[in-house]
Amino acid sequence: STVGVIGLGYIGLPTAAILADSGVRVVGMDVSPINVDAVNNGEVPFVEPGLREVVERAVAAGKLSASTETPVADAYIVAVPTPFTDSHSADLSYIEAAADGIAPKLTGGELMILESTSPPGATEHMAERILKSRPDLAAGDLLVAHCPERVLPGRIMVEMATNDRIVGGLTQAAAEAAKTLYQNFCTGEVLLTDAKTAEMAKLTENSFRDVNIAFANELSVICDQLGVDVWELIDLANHHPRVNILQPGPGVGGHCIAVDPWFIVDAAPDASRLIRTARETNDAKPEWVLGRIEQALEHHGREATVALMGLAFKANIDDLRESPSLSIAQRLAERAPEARILAVEPHIDQLPAQLAGSGNVTLAGIDEALQTAQILVLLVDHDQFKAIDTARLAGHTVIDSRGIWR
């Protein structure tokens, strides 16, 4: 039997590769010919530890291939983006496009799994859309389930095999069929529920983390006003057996935690006050860090050199999506046209498009930053920055948003 994986991004490609490596025939589909060619050559179009080896092996074994066309398959896994719109509701257009591609290929009896992070009701919406375009099929002809992906970027290849999985079926039969598919490679527990609960589970997990990071970020602003070292405070408080506070930072990035809570707020606006406030608290943090940089610029003069250490959305990855650090860099470039801004990001070798247009930003190495910048702003806790001898920071104005240089 063949599994079609729609969307070969950060989730779809590792899923396709691991499934193919377990012996299942997998055809991946992506709208980008660049991604498709990369996969067919056994390559990976982004950085994820351990992924390349598995893709290479599965392609060489003839188990994995890719196409820009939706394949005919016995089961489909949809792993396309669900961004949000300006009004913070979910944009389902990629899911709808995937469904429209699959619909004409169906003969009845296929399993369809939606893996994309989805607002409550999206799985049902996908099934209804398919049945509308295929009136010859009955609802019972399709097995439709939602199985949210919860792997952590940077640890995807480990977590995809070992994490417990939640499978929510539109019917019990659909949930059972999806469970059988995942058991090809998943050694964790596969937990069955209905589709809407599965949709909410994923959103709930990321909202839990967002709320907890917001607590840490709020504390960092409070402590700054009170003259207390927030990292020492959190470290001490976390000695309590039932307290486990997360770490403050320059804001929350990535395509999940900064997005998913809005889907809950959108689904039940009046009841989601805490979740909304947490989102707003985390979204306000980059502006707060910018305020501190602007203060330092007032002190050193508008033409000072500012080194922004890190652009990625978190440590030790090259992913700049929804990155608070990148947003700080962009806003600073606009607001401080006379300053010289050094972007120090060891994981990339050219400035991202968002910064390439600003004449005052250049990509720089760690040594150049330490030698020439008056103001050092630590934005990402990359290992390379943790390794810097703190004696070399003397004589600089240091704004450490992650507390690694204390």
Catalytic (active-site) positions: 202, 256
How many angstroms separate the most distant Cα atoms in the chain? 74
Give residues 286-325 in contact with ligand SAJ (rule: CB under 6 A): 313-314
Shortest Å, Cβ 394 to ligand SAJ: 27
374 in contact with ligand SAJ (CB under 6 A): no
Query: Does 209 contact ligand SAJ by CB under 6 A?
Result: yes
Bridge partners of 145, per DSSP, are: 113, 169
Contact, 47 vs 317, CB < 8 A? yes
Minimum Å gap between C-beta 156 and ligand SAJ is 9
Report the alpha-carbon distance of residue 222 to residue 232 in Å, rounded: 14
Report the residue number, 40 or 316, with the smaller CB distance to ligand SAJ.
Answer: 316
**Cα 369 to Cα 344: distance, rounded to the nearest angstrom:** 7
Rounded to a whole number of angstroms, the minimum distance from the CB of residue 382 to ligand SAJ is 11
What is the spatial distance between Cα 203 and Cα 197, in angstroms, rounded to a whole number? 10
Site string for ligand SAJ, 211-240 (x = CB under 6 A): --x---------------------------
Name which position in 75, 90, 106, 257 contacts ligand SAJ (CB under 6 A): 257
Of residues 101 and 251, the one with the C-beta less far from ligand SAJ: 251
Q: How far is the CB of 193 from ligand SAJ (least distance, A)?
A: 18
**Of 65-73, 181-189, 201-209, 392-400, which segment contacts ligand SAJ by CB under 6 A?**
201-209
- Is the CA virtual torsion 247, 249, 251, 257 positive or negative? negative
> How many residues touch ligand SAJ (CB under 6 A)?
18
Sole window of 184-192, 204-212, 330-338, 363-371 interacting with ligand SAJ (rule: CB under 6 A): 204-212
| Alpha carbons 366 and 271: distance in angstroms, whole number | 47
Instruction: Restricting to residues 92-151, name those near ligand SAJ by CB under 6 A.
Output: 150-151
Q: Which of 81, 169, 253, 286 binds ligand SAJ (CB under 6 A)?
A: 253
Which span (64-72, 97-105, 218-226, 254-262) binds ligand SAJ, by CB under 6 A? 254-262
Name which of 194 and 381 has its Cβ closer to ligand SAJ: 381
Choose the stretch contacting ligand SAJ; rule: CB under 6 A; options: 59-67, 68-76, 202-210, 343-351: 202-210
> For residues 79 and 342, which CB has a smaller minimum distance to ligand SAJ in the complex?
79
Among 80-88, 249-257, 293-301, 341-349, which window interacts with ligand SAJ (CB under 6 A)? Answer: 249-257
Answer yes or no: are the C-beta atoms of 193 and 32 closer than 8 Å: no
Site string for ligand SAJ, 149-178 (x = CB under 6 A): -xxxx-------------------------
Kindly give the residue spans of alpha helices, DSSP state H, lying in 268-359.
273-300, 324-335, 353-356
Tell me how many helices (H) and strands (E) the chain has.
Answer: 15, 13
Could you say whether residue 61 binds ligand SAJ (CB under 6 A)? Answer: no
Residues that bind ligand SAJ (CB under 6 A): 150-153, 205-206, 209, 213, 246-247, 249, 252-254, 256-257, 313-314
